[in-house]
Every structure is written in C-alpha cells, then in structure tokens.
Structure 1
Amino acid sequence: MEIALILLALLVLFVIVLLAKTVRIVPQARAGIVERFGKYKGTLPAGLNIVVPFIDRLRYLIDLREQVVSFPPQPVITEDNLVVSIDTVIYFQVTDPIAATYEIANYIQAIEQLTMTTLRNIVGGMDLEETLTSRDSINSGLRGVLDEATGKWGIRVNRVELKGIDPPPSIKDSMEKQMRADREKRAVILTAEGQRQAAILTAEGSKQSQILNAEGDRESQILRAQADREASILRAQGEGQAIQTVFQAIHDGQPDQSLLAYQYLQMMPKIAEGSANKVWVIPSEITKAMEGLGSSIHEIAGIPKDATPRTRVDMGPSEAQLPKPSGSGTSKVVEEAIAAAESASQTPTSAAKAEPAAVDAPVEPAPPVDPTAGGAITPEPPAE
C-alpha cells in the first residue's frame, strides 16, 4: 500500500511538471523565443501557448514596447579643443525579436557605445558656441546614424535627446561674465534710449506749453486792452456828463460876482493847509476879489458882470429841471427900472419926467459882504 501511494504521488508530481513545461503564458507586448534542442523553433505571441515539454524551451522573453535608456555623461572634445560632458537619452523599440536575440548579444550596450562614438564624431566638428546652440542638428545626426546601424539588430531608434552639455568651470565663468556684460550693455542702451525719448517728450511738452502760454498771454493782453479802451471810453463819457451836469447846475443857479468872489476867498485858507507849505504866495486876483465884495463894477477875469440867464444845455428829457433862484441886488435894480417904465407908459406926463431918471440912474453895486458876519449888508436907497 505504501508503495502504491508513493507511486501515485510521483505520478501526480510528474503530471504537474509536465503541465508546467507544456503550458507557457506570454504577457501582452512581449514575445517569447522558443528553442528546440538549442535551435530557434518559433516565437510565442502574447497569451496562452503550448510547447513540447522537455524538448522546446522558452529562451528569451523580448519586450516590444518603446524603451528609454539614459546614458551617463561622456567627455567630448569640441573643435576649439574644449572638453564638454554630454549625457544623452535614447528612445528605441524592438521591431524584430529574432534579430534582437540572435544578431547581437546586448543591444542596449551596443546602442550606448554607438551613441558615444557618433556623438564624438559630430561634436568634434563644432566649436563650443555651435555645440551649445545646435542641439537639434546633433539630435538629428545621432538618430540617423543609430537608426541605420541598429536596423539589422531589429531595433528602431525613435528619438535621441541631449540631456545636458556641461562645459568646464572656467568656461562657465567666462560665459557668465560675457552674458552679464551683454545684459548690462543692453540695459545701458535701453536706459539711454529711454532717457532720449523722455528728453524728446519733455522738450515737446515744454514747446507746446510755451506756445499755449504765449497764445494765452496774447489773448489776455488783447482782452485787457479792449477792457481798458472800453473803460477809458466810459470814464470819458462819465466825466463829460459830470462836466455838463456841473456846467448846467452853474447856469441854473445864475451865480453873481459877489458869490463867486466870496467862494474864491474861502478857498484861500485851503491852499495854505499842509505841513509842507512853508511859503504862501498870494495871487494878484485877491485884491480884485476884495473889491468885488464892495462893488459889482469891477469883475474878476473870466466871471461875467451880469448874472443873466444863459443858454441851457440840453441834457435829455430825463434831466431834472432845477427852479430858478431869485435875483440878486443888481437884478432888483433892473426889475425896478422895468416897473418904472411900465408906469410911465400909462401916464405920458409922468413918463417924460421919469424916463431920464430911469436912463441916467446908475446901477447900484451889490451890497458888500462882511467877512466876519458872513452875510450881506443891507443896501442903502439910491441917491436922488
């Protein structure tokens, strides 16, 4: 019994091993290389596959997806004998699993060495400035060479990128100084251009301001001159109307010789007023003014003897009419003479006697004015 159980267990174990050797599961985007007795038998696709146990063997499992490989920095000498470190990144994909398995032992290492040699060849014909600014041309050159060389290995290089180009530290310092100087130069140029534009705009603004100020001054002077002219015209018209009003008032008042002489004497003390008046010159007309107070025969130059009404100045319908004042001493004598002439015309006999008296009667002078009393002395009756 025990032997039977052992045999049964061995049989089950053999079946399990047989199934494991017969059934092969290949993941998606993978390809299995099957060898029979060390010779290529076939390629297993993704999924469940059946092989002959103990005869067929799954040798390699190839990844068919696009792979990314980053290579460490490698020193490269440029045309101007400068050593730069360049690290690259390769994007490739296996298109033929059989060629990738049997045409080359390690295709990743082969791609790395091919990339380094091709990169040295391309960068060796460029100087440092061109190397730093020609990444696209370097990438295109690398991709063309690698794609042509790896085609027989069943590999397609999709893309090549330069991850970094590091020049020596001394070159970095020089480049930084050059870049800093160039930026400072552009900053100085931009500052100078800004100052130039600001100066131009300031000058244009000052010019426009001066033009506007000049135009404003001209208009203000014109308006001020017009205002002064109109003010002068109105002032002259006002003075003319004032003179006409005063002249009309003098004519309406009918001043006589005595009143004007008295006013002339009243103005004399005002002439002597003031602390600066050291010498008082008495005009020669003062004697005539004194004589005019006692008699109306003499007259001051420019003042009429008879206070007869003058021609009235027409000031317009809106001018107020002043009442005529009563006559002075001379006008009373004239009125008495007129009354005597009228009575004589009624009686011829008495008129013949009275006419010589009326004609020969002298005109009595105006009563003298007493300066101390401020009034006129009552006139005496005329002598017969």
Structure 2
Amino acid sequence: MNNTIVLLIILAVLVIFVLVVLVKSIRIIPQARAGVVERLGKYLRTLNPGLNILIPFVDRLLPLLDLREQVVSFPPQQVITEDSLVVSIDTVVYFQVTDARAATYEIANYIHAVEQLTTTTLRNVVGGLNLEEALTSRDRINGQLRGVLDEATGRWGIRVSRVELKAIEPPLSIQDSMEKQMRAERERRATILTAEGTKQSQILTAEGRRQAAILAAEGDAKAAILRADGESQAIQKVFDAIHKGNPDQKLLAYQYLQTLPKLAEGSSNKVWIIPSELGEALRGVGSALGDFLPDTRGGAERTPAAPAGGAEADARATGAVSPVDGHQRQGEAPAS
C-alpha cells in the first residue's frame, strides 16, 4: 500500500515536470512581435512570429518587442528662441523597431532615449529661429528633427518615420500682441477691400453715365437729322406746291405781308428793322387792291399807287413801330 502511494506521487511529479518542460520548450510568437532568446545569458537568436522550440532551463526568452509603428507624445518642452522668447512646444514622434536585438542590447530604454534626444534636438533647432519663423516653419523644424533622430536611433534598431509639432504656445503677452497685430491687419485688409469696392462702383457708375451720355447724344443727333430731313422735305413740298400753283406777284406780296408780324414776336424783341422790300410789296398790294376800290363818282376807280421812296409812309401804314426805353418810335427802313 505504501509502495503504491509512493509510485503515484513519483508519477505525478514526472507528469508535472513533463508539462513544465513542454511549456518552457514551446513558444508561440504573435504576428508583428519579436522575441530575443538568450542561452546561458548570451544572445542566441531572435524568434520570428509562429511556433518556436526552446531548451527548457537553458534558453530564456526576453519580453517580446512590438514591431509595429508606435506613436509617443512627449510633454511640453520650454524652448528659448533666437529673440529670447520662451515658447512651449509639444512634440509627437512616430517610430518603429526594425532590429529587436539592437533595441534590446544597444539601448536600455529606447523610448526614454527618443524623448531626451527629441528635446535636445528641438532646442537646438528652435534656438536658431525667431518667434515668427518658429511659428511659420513647422515643416522645416519637423524635417530637421526627423533627420537628426533617424540618424541617431539607427544604431538602436529604431526607425523614426515622422516628427510633428503638436502645439507651439508663445507667452500670453506675445499672444495678446499677435492678436492685436492680426486684428489690425484684418481691419487694414477690410478697409482696402471697401475702398476697392467703392472705386469699382464709381468706375462702373461713371462708365454707365458715359454710355448713357453717348447714347443720348447719338439719339439727339439722329433726332436732329430726322427733324432736318423732315423740314427739308416740308420746304421742298412747299416749294414744289408754290411752283405748281404758278403764283403771281400779287399773291407773293400778300404772303410777304403776312410774314412780317412774326418778326416782332418774342418778349426780347425791342428793335426790329423793316426790310427795304416792304415798299415794293406795299405798292404791289396797293395796285392789286386799287382795282377793286369803289368809285365815289359812280364807278370803280384805281387808287393811285404810293409814290416811290415812301418807305416812311409805308411803315406808318403798317403800324410797324419799335418800343425803346418806354417810347413809341416809328420803324425806319433802310434805303433800297
């Protein structure tokens, strides 16, 4: 009975030992991971993803390393610019482990090393720039940081792919000054745009007025041409009608006398001159009307014609006078 119990205990210990050996011997490495194996304290090999066999109690597997690209955000760093201003800069570093052996044996803590290297490099780069250049040259700073970090971390088995400046915060007093400057710049641009709009509006208004004046002038010119053509045609028709009617001297003299009152029309006509042809016209009218005057002695008798050179009597007969300085003055006809 005692022997049986002893055998069972020994068998159980052997089973447990075998299980422990199996557990220690078989290692499954996940994808995008890498494991460094040491044999008796010395580097042996790097395990790839998949099933791997180790010698228990001889080989030791170190903690697995992540081969994926990692993102590390470092706390804000106080950096002094070239113009002696302190700015706070937040950085983000994108890196990837490319050599598990170098990342294990070449550096004790590669994340801490990348952080410290980023801080020192950032101070060197930003220290050579003024505040305005530091605020507007992010791509330049990123490129310089990436170049320095990638060169320094290459021997550590790490590849730095990107370095980004998450935030650059100048002092509060500088921020207030920058806000005032930006506000003044926006107001200046708004004033310029308003002036440009007013200028363009005035130009367009003047152009419209000029076009309107040109069109009005063209319309007046065409209207004047049409009126002149109409008057010309009217005169031509009157002239043709007169010639077709074949008027005699008596009719022409009568029409001439009807036209004379139009010479005195208008409030500004203070003096008007009787034409020299008036006497001849009156003599023609008198001779025409004399044939029809009644004869007191029993028959029609011709009225004697007005003597030649009677321009004054002719003017008195027509009643043509000119008011000058409030006095009535008889019109005088120039000698024919």
Q: TM (normalized to structure 1)?
A: 0.62
Secondary structure of the structure 2 residue equivalent to 1:72:
strand
Aligned residues: 260
Deviation at 1:289, TM superposition (A): 3.2
2:62 is aligned to 59
- Give distance in 1, aligned partners of 2:177 and 2:39: 64
1:117 is aligned to 120
Deviations 1:246-299 (A, max 9, x none): x9xxxxxxxxxxxxxxxxxxxxxxxxxxxxxxxxxxxxx9xx63748xx44x43
**Pair 1:91-2:97 in alignment:** no
Q: Higher strand proportion, which one? A: 2
**Pair 1:299-2:301 in alignment:** yes
- Give distance in 1, aligned partners of 2:95 and 2:232: 101
User: Is the 1:76–1:85 Cα contact (8 Å) retained in structure 2?
Assistant: yes
Deviation at 1:242, TM superposition (A): 7.5
User: Is the 2:145–2:163 Cα contact (8 Å) retained in structure 1?
Assistant: yes
- Give distance in 1, aligned partners of 2:46 and 2:25: 15
User: Is the 2:126–2:134 Cα contact (8 Å) retained in structure 1?
Assistant: yes
Deviation at 1:238, TM superposition (A): 5.2
Deviation at 1:301, TM superposition (A): 4.3
Deviations 1:36-68 (A, max 9, x none): 232222211111111111111111211222222
1:50 is aligned to 53
- Give distance in 1, aligned partners of 2:214 and 2:152: 80
Larger radius of gyration: 1
Deviation at 1:5, TM superposition (A): 3.4
2:201 is aligned to 198
- Give distance in 2, aligned partners of 1:143 and 1:236: 105
Amino acid at match of 2:26: V
**Pair 1:31-2:34 in alignment:** yes
- Give distance in 1, aligned partners of 2:171 and 2:12: 71
User: Is the 2:295–2:301 Cα contact (8 Å) retained in structure 1?
Assistant: no
2:294 is aligned to 289
Q: TM (normalized to structure 2)?
A: 0.70
Percent identity (aligned): 64
Gaps of 5+ in 2: 251-289, 305-336
Q: CA RMSD in A?
A: 2.6
Gaps of 5+ in 1: 248-284, 303-384
- Give distance in 2, aligned partners of 1:231 and 1:128: 89
Q: Among 124, 130, 135, which residue is 1:127 paired with?
A: 130
- Give distance in 1, aligned partners of 2:75 and 2:90: 5
Deviations 1:130-178 (A, max 9, x none): 1011112211221222122212212121221111111122211211111
Q: Among 167, 170, 177, which residue is 2:170 paired with?
A: 167
- Give distance in 1, aligned partners of 2:112 and 2:169: 23
User: Is the 1:65–1:94 Cα contact (8 Å) retained in structure 2?
Assistant: yes
2:189 is aligned to 186
2:275 is aligned to none
**Pair 1:22-2:25 in alignment:** yes
- Give distance in 2, aligned partners of 1:175 and 1:152: 43
- Give distance in 2, aligned partners of 1:34 and 1:228: 121
Deviations 1:207-230 (A, max 9, x none): 232222122212211211221232
1:282 is aligned to none
User: Is the 1:60–1:101 Cα contact (8 Å) retained in structure 2?
Assistant: no
- Give distance in 2, aligned partners of 1:194 and 1:167: 37
- Give distance in 2, aligned partners of 1:100 and 1:210: 86
